[in-house]
Structures are given as C-alpha cells and as structure tokens.
Structure 1
C-alpha cells in the first residue's frame, strides 16, 4: 500500500526554525495587500461609470436610441478596463504576482475575460442599434456608414474579431487539443487586439474628445498598462538573461519518462528563486528558440547551479532531451507563491503526484522547520513515477520530516490508491486542520486532496496549490 519513513528529531542544519508569530504577521500583510489590490480593481471599474456620468451621462437617456447608445458606451468602457486589468494580471508585475499568486490571478483573469467578451458584445450591438435608431436607418446600413467613415472603426472590428479568436482558444476543449506553445502564441495576439481597438476610443467618442479630462485619464491607464507589459514581460527578462548568462550544463535521466536539465550561470542564487517557484524558459537552439516552457525548479538554486526536472508529455518536452551542453537560455521569473514563505504556521504537509513531486522537493529543501513539523506524501501509479525519491528521502532524514509514499491505482472517488481506500486523510496528515497544506499535481488530484482536507477542518487560507495544467 505505502511505505512510511519517520525520521527522529535532529538539528536542522544549524538553521533557525520558522517563527509562528512572524509567519502569522506575513499572512496578515498579504491579506491586506490582497484587499487593497482588489479594491483598486473595483475602483477602476467604477471610474468608467463616473467618467461617463460626469459628461452629462444621464442626459443621454432621453430616447430609446440614445439610451441604447449610452448603455453600449458604458459596457465598452468597463469591458476595456477589464481587458487592461487582464493584461496587468498577466504582465508579471512583482507586487501583483506576490500578492495574489498564480491560482487566484488565473481565476480572476478568467472571470474578467468573460466580462470582456460580454461587455464588448453589448457595446457593439447596443451602439450600432442605438445609432441606427437615431439616424432612422437599418443597423446594416449604419454598419456600412461607420465602415466608410474611416479606418478607426475598421481597426476596432478587427480588434473585436481578434479577441474572439483568443477567447475560442481558451475554451477548455480547445486548449486540450492545442500544444502549450501554440496556445501561448495565440494569447500574445491579445496585445495586438488592444492596440487595434484604441484609436476608435478617441476618434469616435465625444466623451474622450481632445481636451477632456476623461481623455487624459484613459491615456494614463493605457500608458501604465503598456509600460508594465514592456518592462516586466520584455525588458526585465532580457536584462536578467544577459546578466546571469544561463546555459545548459547537462541533461540527466530522472525516471522512465522524466529527465533533469542542469544549468550553470553567474550568481544564480541572486535570481531570488524560492523552492516551489517556476520560471519561463526559452532555449536558444535550432527549432526550440520560439518555445517557452513554464518549469518549476526541482532544487534550491546555488551560486552557479540551477535545475528543473521535466516529464516527457509531448513533442515539445521530448525535444528538450536532446539539448546540448552550452546551449544559451533566456528566462522570465521567478514567478509564483507556492513557497514555504506563504505558510501561516509551523506545521506543513507537502502532498504531490507525478511530476508535481519536483517543486515539492525544492520546497522541502528550502523550508526551515523543526523536526516532526513536516509530512511529505508522494503519490504515483507506479514506483517509477516517484521522481527524485532518493533525494527526497535524504532530505527528510536530514531535516526530520516524515515521508509517506503511496503507489497503485486510485481508489474510486479518492486520491489515495485502492489499497488505502479506507485510510482517512487525518491519519496521513496529523492535525490537518492546524497544518499548512501544499498540494501539487494534476487538477483532479488536487481537487480531491483539497476536498478531503476541507472536510477534515482545514481552512482555505492554509491550503496552497499548484496545478500542473495550462
């Protein structure tokens, strides 16, 4: 069923153990930052309505045509604002990334995307119908009239069409059929969609006419968003890659279908990587340079050493096995909040399945804790899929962590193997309600572990997840 390794109490490398008061204070600060960030987002949405009302917005609701146009304008402004918020969420701004973390930022990104599509749809339909009623012509004739007035409307239509392409690529069914690299490239097109839509905001709306303070406001938030994307998605990664001169040192087998890529470079410990974080890797080799891979580190960084461990799941990851030593690498990051610094107390449980074991191994190495405070649970269908098991065993023995490995086919409706179907989570993780739970692996596995932990009394604030889905 499983193997248990319990390590007796011992000194932890002479390092101080985590202080509960300090950890609790850090959790409160993160909550306050999250509240402030969320409030700022809502304030920006409210400003869209305020901007409209300040320019005699209520006076526009005088007849059916102008009323529909007014609703369409508000919908367009809020949808555009939501789109800018989406871009900021994906701009890798350190404050946002460290405050929200990837799971929450991704969820917000998805919700905002729903409103962007709905809002822009309402904007297009209501404004077009409203104009046609005011002009006394059909909506098709109105569309033709607007099309012939200039290029800004044509660009706006092109931008709307481009966004629809991005949305369709985000549908779960479609995402499962597309390689990650293709999906990522399609989403980069959203930047072009924003650029195409901007001109008509200023040329076709009296609200944002030359000299209006509303115009200055929108120019400011567009500039801030564009600057964030330029700095954090392009300039910072470029400077980081040039400064640290990262190159492939070796590629080594890490399992029947996995391998580790080892890197060398300058002052890699100054990248600020914590165990559990990931970077976007771009290997500057023929046929690979345009691929970007989000890989978590599988070991704490050293001054001139860095490592990721990859499972062969498709053509893209399979190609990386042939990387030659000396291949130059560009990186973005580190990103993510799936780290030991996010815990709220001294007790930790690190639970992982499959290749999700690798960031758990890095967290275990990176974390400071007292002997007996940490439980590590590794789950796989076969023993060969317990990646880096020997390294994790040595870390548990050295640092005083309890190690449990579970292998075999899953029990129906549970995340444990069938031979452990009757074993409650509280038996595997003592005091689970008073423990920071870290779970990494496929979405279904994570959902099952989290559901059982919540049923056993664990609070959402103490549950940290990293899904290996894109």
Structure 2
C-alpha cells in the first residue's frame, strides 16, 4: 500500500471476522468483569506491599524495640535499626517484583512491575545507607568514638559485620549501574550481570541480621517473620526464574527452522516445537529467548511473538515466529542462526494482550519493529467488524514491517487500517505523526473519533510511544485503557 493514509478496509464476509471470536454485545460485560477483577488483585497486592513495610517496623516495636531508648545515642541507633528494617523489606519487594510471578504479572503486567522495581531502588539504598550511618553514629556516641572509627571497629571486631559492608557496597553498585545515564554506556549483557549482584547483596546482608545485637533473637516474632519472608522470596525466585523456564524449555523443545529477511536489518526466526497449544493467545506478550549456539547461549533476548503459534497436530506440534530488528551485536548475530539450533524459552510475560481489555473497541498503534507484536495481537484479540483500528507509523513503507500480513488480517477481520509514513517534524518533538500530517493539523481523534471508549495498545520506540500516550490521554482515554509495551531496558 503506497498511500500514507489508507481508507477503511472492509471484510469479504462480515460473518467471519477471523480467528478471534466476535465481541458483540456480550463482550463489554465479559471484559469489564475481568478488568475489575484484575484491578482488585492489583489493589490487594499494593495493600500487601505496604503491609509488609508496616509489619517490619511494627514487629520490632512489638518485641520491645523502643524499650532500650534511654539516651540520644540509643535513639540514633534505634532510628538506624528502623531504617535497616524498612530498607531490607523494600529490597525483598524489589526481588519479588522482578521474579516474574504470575500473580503479579497478571495483575499489573511485567513492565509496570519492573517500573515499581526501579522506583524502589533509590529509596531502599537511601534507607540502607541511613542504617549504616546511623548505627555507626549511635554506637560511636555510646562508646566515645567518631563514626569512621566506630565503623572500622565494627568491621574488625564484630563477627559477620564485614559481610554487611560488602552487601552495602554491592547495593550501591547495582543502583548506580541502573541509572539510565550510566547503563546506556554499557551493553545490556554487562548491566544484566551486574544486576545479578542484587542476589549476592541480599545473601551477604542476612548473617549480621541474625547474629548481631540479638535483633532477631530466638522466640521473637521478628525472627519468624524475616525467616518466612526471606524463604518465600528465595522460593519464588527459584521457582519462577529457574525451574519454570527449564520446564518450559523441555516441554516445548523449540528448534530453529529457518531465518528469513523481512526488510533491511529485520529478520524473522521461525521455530518448531511441541505442545504449542499452551501458548495460543500469547500474541503481543513477550518471551525470553536463548539460542543455544556458540557465543549466543548466554544472551537473553526479550522478544514478542509476531504471529500466533500455528498448531499443526493433535499433540500440539507446530510453528511459532519472532521478528527481530538489528539493534546491536547481539541481535545482529541472530541473522546467522542455523536450522536445528535449540532454543531455551521463558514466558510468556506481560499484559500486552487481550487479558488487559476493558472495552469492546480496540486501537492498535505501532511504529517500526513495534508493529510486529501488534500483528500477533490483531490475529486473535476479540472484536467484531468495525470495532478495531490499526495505525502503523514508519519513515517509509519499508519500515511498516509485516505490513502485508497486517493488511490481510484487517481485510479479513473488518478492521480499519491507516499507514502513516514520512519523516518526522524536527520542530515538533512532541508529535507522533509524520511531518505532513502534523502540519495539516491531524489529531488522534481524526483517525479514531471514539477512542475515549477503546482500549489502546501502543508499541514502539520510547519517545514516540510517550507522544502517542500523551495524545491518547488528551483525547479522553483513561489510564487503565492504555497498554504500552516498552522497547528499552
């Protein structure tokens, strides 16, 4: 399609809108009920998170934490203890948010969970730094030493305390390397390996909590609480970050079938596997892929499916596909994948799917390689003819990846399709449209007049997606109707 703005595409047979069931009048109650349940789960998780923070301090108070406060020095020490308890609780919450637990993933989505994970990074570090400083000041005041001398004495004389200093140093390294300005200077693999230090930081912080000062003494509620929460966090990480990916890999036995070029710098990797029926309906959600070839096996690649799994037999044997753009050395190597290469897989993750729907109408907006997850989502998400609009953005027709497949799906399912191609306007950094359409005064409501009553899925580069989301909000779309797949790390 050569036109930048295409007319609405009809369907040859309105009674057969495609593989997804028609939404009809019964869709809104179904979507609405499921949506309310998901919001209730998210609220319950929020209450549980705040409750754990309150419990960490309340149990210290219940076990007589304030009884020892009789001087300024003991008061400063008590503040240090509270800061340490709160900081450690936030660290464990961070680990749980990154553990890919289905309950959390299904309630708030992977992206939002990681957003909360990142937001807790600085507060947890500040609390742990305050813990160390206040403890050194409080103990030093009681013993007539300056904080530096007291810290050295604690390192040398107190068993397990040196591990606490190591833990704090590791936490500082993790938080600093997580800052956007810093992590952009390093490849993803370096940042990923450094981030694994979080687990080492937690492990090295535990001994002094149980062996120093009798804080978690035998018979206290605190001791059982912290043993339980640490054990639960460790079990969740082991189950969902290690065991389940191994089970999925052995269950599906994925193998590369072929690699095809879609456009300059863009390839599709087609894989065969077993029991793929279990992955149906995962269009739009992403997986972590590891291609078990020399030099590639240790690279985790987060890619969404670009087509729904094609199940060919009763045993679930079939094909699935991802479409990848060359964005660096790691993705460039995928073009050389050989047929027969084994693939380890984790997932699916995220809420960029029909599970997030709350309305009958649906709007899919994608740019660049972000178009490809929308193609898979379009294939199966429920809607009736005329209830879906698809907007594809690219600098040229070549950047409308899988555009022919999306065109055919729109024709078959009765969706409205717009191609928005052309250079952007350098004088309008807040625009999501090509320069010509921006100058002409087009707005999102010109393409989707009733967008305020639709679920809006946006997938593409971070800055561009932010502009689309702002335009949708200005058009009256509520926050819970916006679904965004982030394309950064």
- TM-score tier by shorter-chain length is over 0.9
Q: Residue 80 of structure 1 aligns with which residue?
A: 88
Name the CA distance, whole Å, in 1 between partners of 2:373 and 2:18: 21
CA apart distance, 1:341: 2.5
CA apart distance, 1:269: 2.1
Q: CA RMSD in A?
A: 1.3
Residues 273, 334 of structure 1: 8 Å contact kept? no
Q: Deviations over 1:12-64 (max 9, x none)?
A: 13753121110000110011001000000000000011111112222233221
Q: Residue 330 of structure 1 aligns with which residue?
A: 344
Name the CA distance, whole Å, in 1 between partners of 2:374 and 2:7: 17
CA apart distance, 1:273: 5.1
Name the CA distance, whole Å, in 2 between partners of 1:193 and 1:132: 25
- Correspondence 1:408 to 2:413: no
- Number of residues of Structure 1 aligned to a counterpart in Structure 2: 470
Name the CA distance, whole Å, in 2 between partners of 1:398 and 1:137: 79
CA apart distance, 1:345: 1.0
Q: Residue 290 of structure 1 aligns with which residue?
A: 298
CA apart distance, 1:144: 2.0
Q: Deviations over 1:215-234 (max 9, x none)?
A: 11100100000000001000
Q: Deviations over 1:319-367 (max 9, x none)?
A: 1111111111111110000112311111011000110001011100011
Residues 256, 385 of structure 1: 8 Å contact kept? no
Name the CA distance, whole Å, in 1 between partners of 2:460 and 2:166: 39
Q: Structure 1-normalised TM-score?
A: 0.98
Name the CA distance, whole Å, in 2 between partners of 1:301 and 1:429: 30
Superposition pairs of residues 126-205 of structure 1, within 5 angstroms: 126-205=134-213
Name the CA distance, whole Å, in 1 between partners of 2:418 and 2:394: 12
CA apart distance, 1:151: 4.7
Q: 2:309 aligns with which of 264, 289, 301?
A: 301
Superposition pairs of residues 304-315 of structure 1, within 5 angstroms: 304-315=318-329
Name the CA distance, whole Å, in 2 between partners of 1:341 and 1:468: 20
Q: Residue 315 of structure 2 aligns with which residue?
A: none
- Correspondence 1:17 to 2:22: yes
Specify the SS of the correspondent of 1:301. strand
Residues 63, 221 of structure 2: 8 Å contact kept? no
Q: Residue 4 of structure 1 aligns with which residue?
A: 6
- Correspondence 1:364 to 2:378: yes
Superposition pairs of residues 257-296 of structure 1, within 5 angstroms: 257-271=265-279, 274-296=282-304
Q: Structure 2-normalised TM-score?
A: 0.94
Q: Residue 257 of structure 2 aligns with which residue?
A: 249
Residues 291, 343 of structure 2: 8 Å contact kept? yes
Judge which range, 135-144 or 243-252, deviates more.
135-144
Q: Residue 417 of structure 1 aligns with which residue?
A: 434
